[in-house]
Amino acid sequence: SNGILTVCVSGAAGQIAYSLLPLIARGDVFGRDQPIELHLLDIKPALDALHGVVMELHDCAFPLVRNIVETDDPMVAFQHADVTILGGSFPRRPGMERRDLIAKNVNIFKAQGQALDRVASKNVKVVVVGNPSNTNALVLSHYAPSIPKQNITALTRLDQNRAVGQIAMRTGVNADQVEGVAIWGNHSATQYPDVTHATVNGEPVMPKLGGRQAVAEEFIPCIQKRGAAILKARGLSSAMSAASAIGDHLKSWILGDSKIVSMAVASDGSYDVKPGVYFSFPVRCSAGGDYEIVQGIEMDEFSRKYVSATTEELFAERQEALELCAV
């Protein structure tokens, strides 16, 4: 490209985007010397609201922002996209079955996958945020066969950050003194926030959290249900923390990270998770957009039980999604 990074945000009139766009535009994600072109996608009824967001972006006078495109057409939004953040999805309504939620989203991610396949950079880096994010990533990948599977990811960095934040708070340290937390599986209530290898200042976290039973009864459910707790308290789902996590995810992925981080990526058989789903693993990111699933992490009976439950849920979602793709 011409040195300008084209960053597309879908769901750009939504609340996550409202927190995310200033991070990107200021240079907090891709660097203070990386000029940006923003492609903002939302649906037609939200275009007026989106225009208001664009007016505010102009009013921020960010020097790194070289151009802004606002559109309801994925073919326009994904044109030459280097990075794509997909937050636009159909939200779960009270009483909605998983199958109905997946059905609504299959249509969205089918259209977006096909558009991405046709007009994005073949090296585009995608992070799917809209729920059910792992399965939306799978559908997207299914309809974007020319985009390498490993270039498509789903966000579980928020879950990792939540776990790190809780450990820091409960043990009275700073967040950067916590290491080795991993998120396994689905970004849902079956996710496994794994602290069996986590440390605080190099010492095991498990005993500091009260041991296995306390972790199983208290810590793990706290992380699994954190999204619901925020929704109850705020009357709105997490947005600031989600935006911050998206920034962290992309920064680690694109610029590299000396620490191990979690993201949902195409499974490759590691840890007995058969290929075919987007599954959160601990990964090591090297600069330039390459990453590897960390191998050789020891998994005891305690961990295996959680990993198999979340694997089962993801394969059930996959089944439903692929049936809907076939019709």
The SS3 call for residue 155 is: coil
Contact between 155 and ligand NAI (CB under 6 A)? yes
The answer to whether 78 touches 45, Cβ cutoff 8 Å, is no
CB of 214 to ligand NAI, least distance (A): 25
Which residue's CB is nearer to ligand NAI, number 91 or number 207? 91
Dihedral of CA atoms 238, 240, 243, 244 in degrees, nearest 10, equals -120
CB of 110 to ligand NAI, least distance (A): 11
Which residue's CB is nearer to ligand NAI, number 104 or number 208? 104
Q: Give the count of residues interacting with ligand NAI (CB under 6 A).
A: 26
Contact between 41 and ligand NAI (CB under 6 A)? yes
Contact between 11 and ligand NAI (CB under 6 A)? yes
Name the DSSP class of 44. Answer: G
Cα distances (Å, whole numbers) of residue 176 to 28, 168, 300: 18, 8, 26
- List binders of ligand NAI among 249-308 (CB under 6 A): none
- Judged by CB under 6 A, the residue of 6, 10, 135, 186 near ligand NAI is 10
- State how far the Cα of 313 lies from the Cα of 319, in Å rounded to an integer: 10
- List binders of ligand NAI among 101-140 (CB under 6 A): 108, 129-131, 133
CB of 162 to ligand NAI, least distance (A): 9
Secondary structure (DSSP) of 96-152: --HHHHHHHHHHHHHHHHHHHHHHS-TT-EEEE-SSSHHHHHHHHHHT-TTS-GGGE
- Judged by CB under 6 A, the residue of 38, 40, 88, 280 near ligand NAI is 88
| The one segment of 21-29, 39-47, 142-150, 318-326 that binds ligand NAI by CB under 6 A | 39-47
State CA 210 to chain mean position distance: 30
The answer to whether 87 touches 9, Cβ cutoff 8 Å, is yes
Is 80 a residue of the active site?
Answer: no
- Judged by CB under 6 A, the residue of 8, 9, 16, 273 near ligand NAI is 16
Choosing from 39, 51, 58, 187, which is the catalytic residue? Answer: 187
Which residue's CB is nearer to ligand NAI, number 112 or number 311? 112
* CB-based contacts of 97, cutoff 8 Å, min separation 6: none
Q: Tell me the two tokens of residue 121.
A: 């950079």
| The one segment of 87-95, 194-202, 253-261, 304-312 that binds ligand NAI by CB under 6 A | 87-95
- Judged by CB under 6 A, the residue of 171, 177, 237, 308 near ligand NAI is 237
CB of 171 to ligand NAI, least distance (A): 24
Contact between 89 and ligand NAI (CB under 6 A)? yes
Secondary structure (DSSP) of 211-231: HHHHIIIIIHHHHHTHHHHHH
Which residue's CB is nearer to ligand NAI, number 29 or number 158? 158
Dihedral of CA atoms 80, 84, 90, 95 in degrees, nearest 10, equals 160
Cα distances (Å, whole numbers) of residue 23 to 64, 89, 159, 179: 11, 22, 19, 25
Contact between 46 and ligand NAI (CB under 6 A)? yes
Which residue's CB is nearer to ligand NAI, number 4 or number 47? 47
Cα distances (Å, whole numbers) of residue 248 to 30, 37, 41, 219, 221: 10, 20, 22, 23, 24
* CB-based contacts of 255, cutoff 8 Å, min separation 6: 30, 31, 287
Show which residues are catalytic: 187
Q: State the residues that interact with ligand NAI by CB under 6 A.
A: 10-11, 13-16, 41-43, 46, 87-89, 91, 108, 129-131, 133, 155, 158, 187, 237-239, 242
